[in-house]
Amino acid sequence: MNEQFKRRIAAGALIVAFFVTWEALCILLGVSDLVLPRPSQVFTTLFTRINVLWPHIVQTLMTTMVGFACGVSVGVIIGSVIGVSRTAYDTAYPLLIGFSSIPKVAVVPIFVLWFGSGTVPAILTAIVICFFPIVVNIATGLATTEPEQEDTLKALGASKFDILWNVGLPRTMPFFFAALKVAITYAFVGTVLSETVASNRGIGNVMMSASSNFDVPLVFAGLFILAGMGVTLYAIFSAIEGRVIGWATRKNEIAT
Amino acid sequence: MHTLLVMNSMHKLTPSPVGSQIAAAQRHIRTPAVELSQATVTFGRGDNQVPALSETSLKIGDGEFLALVGPSGCGKSTILKLAAGLIKPTTGAVFVGGREVEAKALRIGMAFQNPTLLPWLTIEKNVMMPLKIVRPFRHEFRAKKKTEFRDRVHALLEEVGLKGFANHYPWQLSGGMLQRANLCRALVHEPRLLLLDEPFGALDQFTREELWSTLQDLWLKLKPTVLLVTHDLKEAGYLAERICVMSARPGRILDDSAVNFPRPRTVEMTFEPGFVELNQRLRGLIVEARSGNTATSEVRP
């Protein structure tokens, strides 16, 4: 416990030190706030204009969560199918790789063309950008299940579904959570990307218009908000992860 | 007809003590629970073919305790997997409970050297797993998992000396304890056929001897048919009613002996002359099989 407390103090101290150094360097070198605003300016902007920013925060958060939820669902389904069936894996993998190597910026204009600007292309971008790590991790987790664990159930006459439900999926949970933490940050990237290109709402849009007005502190305020939301969601999934798959991270605990 | 036991080529191995041993073992066969009829298993395809088992016929009587010994990689585990229905013979047939094996005519329990308990479940839930899968228990699982099934699991755990560990996780237990839990899982659904693949291989001598005794007690009580694959000749002699020796890959059955020591057996009995003699004879056969003297070249006509 004491050890953990020390680690937290150290992590917190580093963050504070980062901002202090930034502030100090800006003052010492006389950096213009048009280039790089000081953290104190950014936080001031954040708090004084929170009323204006709030609807955009909600918009970005909701869009991201919807996209993330859909992306995870799609990812889990595709990942389960190609993880369980060797044939499906061999058939679908080349297409998936091809799909995932397309830079997602390139698909935003297509979504805008189809659905107009606004929320829908943002959700879709979040989906396409965040489902792939889920697919890969679920598929890997399922494909690397220990054959003996499966055999023990097979000898009992278990169906494929029994094995998937009782061995495959629980075993895949650590992989799944690792993927969730990557996917949630990706979903933010997707949403903000789309908002930047084609939307009149959301943090991405706020940053875009702020930068064309040379309102640099507001641009940075947008960045801070995104970082804050990303960290919060990451922490939430981390906490759930700790509860669900404690068995996989037991080395941090004291065996009784 | 149910006394056909031996390799098609066995007669070529005479003169040796093998013939007489076979005759002795044949008398012990009751209704066969498992029957391999000229089963061959080949892994891989084309140039990568690896023959794992050459034409093998074997009958295991209902309620019999049979041990399979032989050099490593000789196809012992292959026979076990055939009986479990995990693989199919390339040629020949395998009958379990009188039916072709896919029919799953018998309830099967299985345990490997690696306990393969699921790390995300407690010992109780691990042991309960077969009841969740196997008919007819699975239909009652929801209704009984907190009452009858739970009591059954606890009783079994107590019997093997794991009282009070039901709510522990596998990683909190030692190797010997895990293997005890593994045995419980293999037995909880009262299987008629128990398949054990070197279940005590990774344990120290004393834990192993303790578990022999536990397994013997459980066998005497429940009388399932047991097929035990092992490297340990002492273990085979202590536990089995019948011991089959296999040749090097591709495996064949070289020798089939009955073991007639009285039950319940004790570790002390393993030092008696009769036991030592059996051990040495089996050891001789395996050494011979390893060096390849029983030439695979003369197996096929």
Disruptive mutation site among A148, A156, A244, A247 for chain B (greatest number of B CBs within 10 Å): A156
Least Cα separation, residue B86 to chain A (angstroms): 7
Looking at residue B6, its pLDDT comes to 39
Dig out the tokens for B48 from the structure: 């990568």
Sheet bearing B32-43, strands edge to edge: B50-61, B32-43, B91-96, B99-100
Q: Do residues A25 and A147 share a domain?
A: no
Q: Do residues B36 and B74 share a domain?
A: yes
CATH number at B257 reads 3.40.50.300
Residues B172, A256: C-beta atoms closer than 8 Å: yes
**In 3-state terms, chain B is what percent helix, strand and coil (to 5)?**
40, 20, 35
A chain contacts of residue B172, beta-carbon cutoff 8 Å: 255-256
Sheet bearing B225-229, strands edge to edge: B108-111, B193-197, B225-229, B65-69, B242-246, B253-258
* Beta-strand relationship, B99-100 and B91-96: antiparallel
Domain span including residue A235 = 37-252
Looking at residue B31, its pLDDT comes to 65
Residues B86, A154: C-beta atoms closer than 8 Å: yes
Least Cα separation, residue A160 to chain B (angstroms): 11
Chain A residues at the B interface, defined by Cβ less than 8 Å, are: 146, 148-149, 151-158, 162, 166-167, 170-171, 173, 245, 247-248, 250, 255-256
Q: Do residues B199 and B73 share a domain?
A: yes
Q: Do residues B88 and B11 share a domain?
A: yes
The Cβ-side half-sphere exposure at B132, using a 13 Å CA radius, reads 20
Alpha-carbon span B275 to B271, nearest angstrom: 7
- Of the candidates A149, A155, A157, which has its C-beta nearest B118's C-beta? A149
Looking at residue A225, its pLDDT comes to 92
Q: Do residues A65 and A4 share a domain?
A: no
Tell me, what's the ipTM?
0.71
B267 lies in some domain = yes
Name the residue type at position B251.
G
pLDDT values of chain B reduced to their tens digit, one per residue, 301 residues: 444 443 333 333 333 444 444 444 444 445 678 888 888 888 877 777 888 888 888 888 888 899 988 887 778 888 888 888 888 888 888 888 777 655 566 788 888 888 888 888 999 999 999 888 887 788 888 887 788 888 889 988 988 888 889 889 888 888 888 988 998 898 888 888 899 988 888 788 888 888 899 889 888 888 889 999 998 888 998 999 899 988 877 778 888 888 888 888 888 888 888 889 888 888 888 888 877 644 444 433 3
Nearest residue on chain B to A245, judged by CA atoms?
A: B120
Write down how long chain A is. 256
B155 lies in some domain = yes
Q: Do residues B137 and B187 share a domain?
A: yes
Q: Do residues A1 and A44 share a domain?
A: no
Convert chain A into a string of H (helix), E (strand) and C (coil): CHHHHHHHHHHHHHHHHHHHHHHHHHHHHCCCCCCCCCHHHHHHHHHHCHHHHHHHHHHHHHHHHHHHHHHHHHHHHHHHHHHHCHHHHHHHHHHHHHHHCCCHHHHHHHHHHHHCCCHHHHHHHHHHHHHHHHHHHHHHHHHCCCHHHHHHHHCCCCCHHHHHHHHHHHHHHHHHHHHHHHHHHHHHHHHHHHHHHCCCCCHHHHHHHHHHCCCHHHHHHHHHHHHHHHHHHHHHHHHHHHHHCHHHHHHHCCCC
Residues B108, A250: C-beta atoms closer than 8 Å: no
Domain span including residue B134 = 107-191
**CB within 8 Å of B213: residues ≥ 6 apart:** B264, B266, B267
Contact B132, B138 (CB under 8 A): yes
- Of the candidates A149, A157, A250, which has its C-beta nearest B133's C-beta? A157
Q: Is A178 exposed, middle or buried (0-12, 13-18, 19+ CB in 10 A)?
A: middle
Chain B residues at the A interface, defined by Cβ less than 8 Å, are: 81, 84-86, 104, 108-112, 114, 116, 118-120, 129-130, 132-135, 168-169, 171-172, 185, 189, 195
Alpha-carbon span A155 to B202, nearest angstrom: 22
Residues A250, B112: C-beta atoms closer than 8 Å: no
Residues B85, A156: C-beta atoms closer than 8 Å: no
Domain count, chain B: 2
Q: Do residues A25 and A63 share a domain?
A: no
Q: Do residues B100 and B112 share a domain?
A: no
Q: The tokens 């218009």 sit on which residue?
A: A209
Q: Which residues of chain A have pLDDT under 50?
A: 252-256
State whether residue B150 is helix, strand or coil: helix
Contact B83, B96 (CB under 8 A): yes
DSSP class of residue B247 equals: P
Domain count, chain A: 2
Nearest residue on chain A to B183, judged by CA atoms?
A: A152
Alpha-carbon span B266 to A13, nearest angstrom: 66
Name the residue type at position B5.
L
CA dihedral A100→A101→A105→A107, nearest 10 degrees, is -60
Residues B195, A155: C-beta atoms closer than 8 Å: yes
Residues A148, B116: C-beta atoms closer than 8 Å: yes
Q: Do residues B74 and B27 share a domain?
A: yes
Contact B51, B22 (CB under 8 A): no
